[in-house]
Structure 1
Amino acid sequence: MKNRNYFVAIATILALSPEVNATELSDQLASRTRYYPSATDSYYSYYKYAPIYSGYYTSNSRNGYSSWYYPGSNAGVTTRTVSTTVNGITVTKVYTTHNGRTTVRTTYAPAVNKPIVNKPTPIANKPVVDTPTQPVIDANPIMDPPVQPIVDNKPITDTQPNPITDNKPVIESPIDDTRPVIIRPTTPVNLHPEPVAVGVPNVGIRWNDRSRGYNIDDPNNKQNVKLTGEGVKVGILDSGFKNYLMQDDILKKFGNRAVIIETGRTAPASATHGIEVAEMVGGGNSRNGVASKSTLLLADITKTTNAGTGLSATAPIYYDLWNRGARIFNQSYGIPKPLTYFNNNRNSSYYYLHQFDGNVLQFYKDKVKEGGLFVWAAGNNRGDLDPSLQAGLPHYEADLEKGWISVVAVATRTNQGLGNFEWSNLLPYSQAGVAKNWTVTAMGDYIFNLGGRNIIASGSSFAAPAVTGTAALVKQKYPWMDGNLIKQSILSTATDIGAPGVDDVYGWGLLNIEKATNGPARFGKRLALADNVTVNIPNGSYEFSNNINGDAGLVKNGQGELILSGASTFEGDTTLNEGAVTINGKKYVSKVNVSPSGTLVVNNTTLENGVNNEGTVVNQGYSTIKRAYVASAQSTLVSDLGSNLNVKGEVDLNGSTLSLAAVKEGKAQYVTQKGLSMSAITSDSAIKGNFAAIETSGLLTATAEKTNENEVKATVSRKNVATALESSFSALDNQIEGNNGSTNATNDEFAQQAATLQNSIANINTQSVVLDSLSGQIYASAQALTFENSETVNKDLSNRLVMLGTLDNVGETAGV
């Protein structure tokens, strides 16, 4: 028996509460209370909060189910069978009563209509026998006499034809070209079709995205993701974490990453539901775990009373998890009734708030505003067109939607099909319904190993933590994201299945872990619940590599950099308040407004709309603005030797600044004294205004002028190094002499570098070597080298002085 594996099939809703007779429960609900399962002791019912899962196990017979918590016996058993057939599907419910306790087993089978078969009447077929005929022999054949050849002894004489004389000219009728020539359009041939992924399903639930296939061994598409969730804390509210029989499994699966929170609650000894859920979020030694190095804060919320056993969270438990650092919460439980079973009528027995502890609901509201994310299992009732009340709560409490995700599970069609993960064998449990805008779908069937036994678990209980683990990966990659942005990344990147678009069954579609970890794929008003997607990056550089569409705009805050490397076709405006937005994609549809503290960087990009520049625009490569470029007097356009900005619309330079660098394709270029010329900006229309200032870096100088009304050309050349160096030393002289011959902390390094140069051998070749040994470039502008900018001066003098050919013939005392 020790070596024998038991497969535990876990499917559909079975509450952790004791099983009760269905008729008895209905009577109790009707007579004693109209509140279904409640969150308070005063309204506590038999079902309380049930985990979105049920467990059965089988020993000898595939269909010999017994209760997960209450194994039955055969003594004193009564059985009642009820069968109904709807739309060709026969539903059989077997009610078994043992010692006053009733269990229900449901099976599904298609109605079978036997075809009418007519027995064929045998036909006696006699073979046809042909009598052979005698050949006809002609004894006197007819002989034709020989034919004499015809001989023509007369020679052949060629006759000359009479010449044809045409005295009339050929007159062609004139062509009527006054009518337009109509060219009928033809279907264009796509010379670059989108590649089709391997494994795109063509049977089963409709699959609308040909860029991703379905992998039976990787249904949520995570195998190529290198992120682990390290450093991210996830709160898991469930059962069984203090199960003494499972402690070895907990240690094996999670190690010291699992922190079991003391809640004062204890589940029955056989409870393992929470361990399976936690493995989906962050199991470290199985293919189930999504965020394999995340920290798991495990809270047992089992509650047992005389009325039954269920799951019920409290505000203190939630606050404990939040204070320990959890910002992402997994809830794989819920009331086994769809949210539309309840209403928002305060006078109704089915008022939705009767089902909630007011303090818990307030916690949800407060923490969603503070960036929390709550992930819920939708439910396991295949007949429900809407999710459970908790998963669909934003239907009644709209402010929760920003930090709320409902997860629909696709799972095997029948219990008999458990273990068959083919796409054609999957159907959804409880559907998205009115919660579709905050719903994503994930696989609901997985294989676990607990206590040495193999277990097949099925339900949205296990789909939800796959999404929770994905949220932890996104949080690891983009630590500045709040719950709303994490949710947008997960939902907008889901693979479209079912009816095209966001539908009533699967919501946004099937979870795509790999794509979700590359940032959002849509900036949409419905998803953002605002006109713009606001991104606040305090520091650092982060990349969104997906193509991004949608009807919303982008607001960039914070000093960090956001890199957009996909095609950006979202239609709202881009407002760059702080930091940088770098566009590496070839197409950018949004109109861009650059604020004084913002920097826009474009790399060989076509901007479909205009740019209003009050800050800095950096053009790297050949970029195009199809509409207007309007600069303020305080703005700067940065360009280099290998770049040109072409504007199709209006250009107004308005006395702005042009900054030029001797760089091409990312590499510094040597510039002669004669200099290099380039087009800084060109336009299809007349350019208004001009640049009021030209800035350069290093030992360079630059000029810019309009060569014609459509072009501004810039010329960059090098400065005389000796003159630049003397200017720097003169500034140092004035500072030291004005400080009674001493230096201070801010310019001491500068003075030490200058002293090294002065005390070198008084030979110009040696001095050139000394100068060349200093790393980097010196900024020779006298204004830039004043000691109001001494920090910059110190750094620049320690950098390399390159290309010192102008020091020739200056003399041994140059710069001393």
Structure 2
Amino acid sequence: MKKIILLVSLIVALSSCGGGGGGGAPQTNSATPQIPGGTQSPLMPVPPMAQNPIGPQNSVPNNPNNQNNPNNPGISVEPEIPKNIEIPTGKGVKVGVLDDDFVSGSNAITKRFYIKDDFHGLLSSGTPFDEVLAKEFGNRFVALTKDEGVPGKDDHGLIVATILGGKSGKGAKGASVYGVSFGEPNSLIIDIKKYKELKDKGVTIYNQSFGTPRGYSEFTINNYKNGMYGSVLRGNATHNELDKKVTELMDFYREAVNEGALFIWAAGNTDKGRTFNEPTIQAGLPHFIPSLHKGWIAVVGVKPDGREYDTHLARAGGARYWTISANGNCELATCTDIGSSFAAPRVSASAAKIKERFPWMTGHEIKQTILTTAKDIGQPGVDTIFGWGLLDEEKALKGPAQFSKELIVGERAANAGAEAKFNANIPAGMVSIFENDITGLGGLEKSGNGTLILTGDNTYSGITYVEEGKLSIYKENGSNIRISPQGTVMTYPKTVIGLRNFDGTFLPVNVDNNGGTFENTGSGAVITGNYTAARGSVTKADIGTKLTVKGTVNLNGENTLVQTVKNRYVTAKPMNEAIIEAEKGINGNFTKVETPELINASSEVTGNNLTVTLSRKNVEEYVTSLETTDEMRRVAAQNIETS
């Protein structure tokens, strides 16, 4: 019964222009995705981008239908390009700060910030630690108990935490911060039990503004653990006891990184007038344990404008591929200190905001996003002073700007020729937008049943694998695309699947549909190479859309065309639409054409065009053929057909 009622309603809609004559203007619905509630970012439409420049070869055709006027026949409305607009604060993200000290409460007062002027400046005094935490964080700060040792009563940790997430800082003011007091008078002891406690509480981003004042290259693969001895055990201990403690710590780091954690380290400062051209042993650990590269960042402290201090702090050195630079000024009231200790929490704050915007990202993807969006300073490219460059949080919140093989698989594996893919594993119901232009020699793997939207002009050259979910491409994408059975690729009027040359021409790029779905929305999309649809593939298009293929279209049997009729009248009089034009020819045809239930359709290859013929079924005959019909419905259908 419900089916018949719905069909009659649809018949009325499809028949409102009468039984013959031409159809109305083909239009597309707005392509701005609708973001479900929860952790997804809201979207704001922005005006359509200008046409891509046209080169003398492999140029993008000027499609007369690709105009923004819905009032004229044959003209489609261009979709609005989505954009992230919500300003993240790190809300819902848990960050650990390992420093000194968060447990002394009212038994210690600040010495470098939160200084109170009393008696009109004649006297000054610090502020109790617990008062600072209450004012800066409210209920967003949790201090883990100190099971062993004596607190150091140093306000260094309070400064670091406040820069990262306090009200007085410029960091992640919505993040939950967990403080671990590692410091003791004149020493620092790393307690692995506290690392594990942080992990059990859900912390995935760890800020470490400390380190042994020795460069990592002072050690070798055989003795690097020696550089960690002084920070893992109190009192006297044998070499074997110390080695065991360090091994336990390294095992924790490996496990946590593999599970998606991100460890952010101060690169180091100076030591009794000695400067360093590389990070500390802690910040440099991926040199000895390459697998740590996925979740490790060393942070060089520099002036706010990116210049080094007169006496430079520890530089990137050979750790350049996991190093970034950031503002090393304290910049809190009454605090004038500088150091990489204060640069690290700025990177940690950015990491927390990125995690809020892209909650599916692991530490590996967050690291790539932070480093590849850094502002290049010093020598061009990744250098031994600043690493990737100066932290650019605004750009980082738009997603990665490069798929770097060195960041994805590590420098050694990249040099050995390993394939590298940025992993966008987005769960069902979630939509993420990458707004930056993405470069690099790496590729992209879209997994998970959610949606990834690319709105930049992308020139990364590694393969794009769409394994699951949806990948929407609004502009240029210079990567060969392979669509798996559970994957969908969507294109739009400004989409060009091609790698742009410096002279404006395009190198051919192919789309291989291996049983998935390729959906073209609006007229104007271009594939500069070949489009191949294997057995079981679906190609989907709206009436009035047209896909231009500069190479060959190969339809390799038992694949389906799904023809939609959004905002378009289909009458009983057949209408023909060319939905694919292939400059180098079309091999094969679709074995099945699927349409709404009241539409007849067929496809035909004529020359270099694949044309679809559509017409409305006879309403009276259709309703009469239904098993559950009756005389009243038959008469109603007859009246509609003859009206």
TM-score tier by shorter-chain length is 0.7 to 0.9
Residue 475 of structure 1 is matched in structure 2 by: 355
8 A contact 1:267–1:300 mirrored in 2: no
**In 1: Cα distance, 2:517 partner to 2:309 partner:** 53
Please point out which of 582, 589, 594 is paired with 1:690.
589
Task: Determine which of 283, 297, 320 is the counterpart of 1:436.
Answer: 320
Q: 1:507 to 1:806 in 2, by over 3 A?
A: farther
CA distance in 2 between counterparts of 1:347 and 1:643 reads 62
Q: Which moved more, 1:591-600 or 1:639-648?
A: 639-648
2:145 to 262, 283, 294: 262
- SS at structure 2 position matched to 1:441: strand
Q: Post-superposition shift, 1:226?
A: 1.0
Larger radius of gyration, structure 1 or 2? 1
1:210-232 residue CA offsets vs partner (Å, 9 max, x unmatched): xxxxxxxxxxxxxx971011111
1:414-457 C-alpha deviation (Å, 9 max, x unpaired): xxxxxxx66668454110001100001000003224xxxx2223
**Distance in 2 separating the partners of 1:347 and 1:368:** 20
Instruction: String of CA shifts for 1:673-723, please: whole Å, max 9, x gaps.
Output: 2143211111112211111111112532222112x2211111222233444
Aligned to 1:292: 173
Which residue in the other structure is 1:114 paired with?
none
**Structure with the larger RCO, 1 or 2 (CA within 8 Å, 6+ apart):** 2
Confirm whether residue 463 of structure 1 aligns to residue 361 of structure 2: no
Question: Distance in 1 between the 2:228 and 2:246 partners?
Answer: 13
Question: 2-side partners of 1:429 and 1:256: how far apart?
Answer: 35
Q: Give yes or no for contact 2:95–2:175 (8 Å, CA) kept in 1.
A: yes
**Do residues 807 (structure 1) and 620 (structure 2) align?**
no
Quote the residue 1:380 is aligned against: 269
User: Is 1:250–2:127 an aligned residue pair?
Assistant: no
Offset at residue 351 of structure 1 (A): 8.9
Question: What is the CA-CA distance between 1:311 and the residue it aligns to?
Answer: 2.1
User: Is residue 518 of structure 1 aligned with residue 398 of structure 2?
Assistant: yes
Do residues 637 (structure 1) and 539 (structure 2) align?
A: yes
What is the distance in 2 between the residues matched to 1:359 and 1:626?
Answer: 53
Residue 408 of structure 1 aligns with an amino acid whose one-letter code is V
User: Would the aligned equivalents of 1:673 and 1:717 in 2 still touch at CA under 8 Å?
Assistant: yes
User: Which amino acid counterpart does residue 715 of structure 1 have in structure 2?
Assistant: T
- Cα deviation for residue 266 of structure 1 reads 6.8
Q: Structure 2: where are the runs of 5+ without partners?
A: 1-84, 107-127, 230-238, 410-418, 499-508
- Structure 1 range deviating more: 483-492 or 557-566: 557-566
User: How far does residue 805 in structure 1 lie from its aligned partner after superposition?
Assistant: 8.6
Deviation at 1:726, TM superposition (A): 4.7
> 1:322 pairs with 199, 205, 221, which one?
199
Partner of 1:303: 184
Letter in 1 for 2:545: S
Structure 2 Cα separation of the partners of residues 256 and 544 of structure 1: 33
Q: Identity of paired residues, percent?
A: 38
Query: Does the Cα contact within 8 Å between 2:421 and 2:443 map onto a contact in 1?
Result: yes
- Supply the distance in 2 between the matched residues of 1:241 and 1:577 (Cα, whole angstroms): 46
Q: Is the 8 A contact 2:146 2:181 kept in 1?
A: yes
Amino acid at match of 1:637: T
CA distance in 1, matches of 2:365, 2:464: 17
Please point out which of 201, 216, 224 is paired with 1:339.
Answer: 216
Equivalent position to 2:96, from 222, 235, 239: 235
Q: Report the counterpart of residue 182 of structure 1 in structure 2.
A: none
Residues 377 and 386 of structure 2 are in contact (CA less than 8 Å); yes or no, is this contact kept in structure 1?
A: yes
Structure 1 counterpart of 2:266, one-letter code: A
Q: Secondary structure at the match of 1:237?
A: strand
Contact 2:302 2:308 in 1 (8 A): no
Aligned to 2:87: 226
Q: Does structure 2 conserve the Cα–Cα contact (< 8 Å) formed by 1:266 and 1:300?
A: no
Cα pair 1:338 1:384 within 8 Å, conserved: yes
Query: What's 2:30 paired with?
Result: none
521 and 679 in structure 1: CA distance in 2 versus 1, 3 angstrom threshold: same
Amino acid at match of 1:303: E
TM-score, normalisation: structure 1? 0.58
Deviation digits for residues 120-146 of structure 1, max 9, x if unmatched? xxxxxxxxxxxxxxxxxxxxxxxxxxx
Aligned to 2:427: 538
Counterparts of 1:550 and 1:403 in 2: how far apart (Å)?
20
* Residues 470 and 347 of structure 1: CA distance in aligned 2, closer, same or farther (over 3 Å): closer
Matched, 1:650 2:530: no
Matched residue of 1:368: which SS? helix
Going from structure 1 to structure 2, the CA distance change for 1:523 and 1:347 (only over 3 Å counts) comes to closer
Q: Secondary structure at the match of 1:248?
A: helix
CA contact (8 A) 2:96 2:179 kept: yes
1:727-742 paired onto structure 2 within 5 Å: 727=625, 730=627
Give the CA deviation at 1:662. Answer: 1.3
Indicate yes or no: 2:579 matched with 1:680.
yes
Contact 1:620–1:643 (Cα < 8 Å) also in 2: yes
Q: Structure 1 pair 594/324, CA: closer, same or farther in 2 (3 Å)?
A: same
State whether residues 209 and 341 of structure 2, in contact with CA within 8 Å, keep that contact through their aligned partners in structure 1: yes
Q: Deviations over 1:525-578 (max 9, x none)?
A: 111115222221121211111100100111111111111111111111111111
SS in 2 for 1:470: helix
Aligned mate of 2:521, from 617, 620, 625: 620
CA distance in 1, matches of 2:489, 2:218: 51
| Structure 1 residue 265: Cα displacement | 5.1
1:389 matched to 2:281? The reply is yes
Contact 1:720-1:806 within 8 A present in 2 as well: no
Distance 1:763 1:476, change over 3 A: closer
- How far does the alpha carbon of each residue in 1:188-223 deviate from its partner, in whole angstroms, 9 at most, with x for none? xxxxxxxxxxxxxxxxxxxxxxxxxxxxxxxxxxxx
Q: Is structure 2 residue 272 aligned with structure 1 residue 369?
A: no
* CA distance in 2: counterparts of 1:278 and 1:347, whole angstroms: 29
Q: Which residue, 647, 660, 671 being the options, matches 2:563?
A: 660
1:270 is displaced (CA, Å) by: 4.8
Query: Equivalent residue of 1:446, what SS?
Result: coil
Matches within 5 A, 1:395-434: 395-411=287-303, 426=309, 428-434=312-318
Partner residue in 1 for 2:41: none
Which consecutive unaligned segments of at least 5 residues does structure 1 have?
1-223, 412-420, 734-757, 769-803, 811-816
Residues 258, 298 of structure 1: 8 Å contact kept: yes
Mapped contact 1:344–1:351 kept (Cα < 8 A): no
Which AA in structure 2 matches 1:324? K
What SS does the aligned partner of 1:457 have? Answer: coil
Superposition pairs of residues 107-146 of structure 1, within 5 angstroms: none
Distance 1:347 1:260 in 2: 31
Tell me how far 1:238 sits from its aligned partner.
Answer: 0.8
Change beyond 3 A, Cα 1:805–1:387 = farther
Is 1:567 matched with 2:457?
yes
State the SS of the aligned residue for 1:445. coil
Distance 2:579 2:172 in 1: 49
- Tell me how far apart the structure 2 counterparts of residues 805 and 678 of structure 1 sit (CA, whole Å): 29
Instruction: State the 1:480 CA deviation.
Output: 1.0
Residues 623 and 349 of structure 1: is their aligned pair in 2 closer, same or farther, counting only changes over 3 Å? closer
420, 428, 439: which one pairs with 1:549? Answer: 439
State the alpha-carbon separation in 2 of the partners of residues 808 and 470 from structure 1: 63
Residue of 342, 359, 365 corresponding to 2:248: 359
User: What SS is found at the alignment partner of 1:556?
Assistant: strand
* 2:162 alignment partner, one of 269, 279, 288: 279
> Does the 8 Å contact 1:336/1:379 carry over to 2?
yes
Q: 1:606 deviation in Å?
A: 1.4
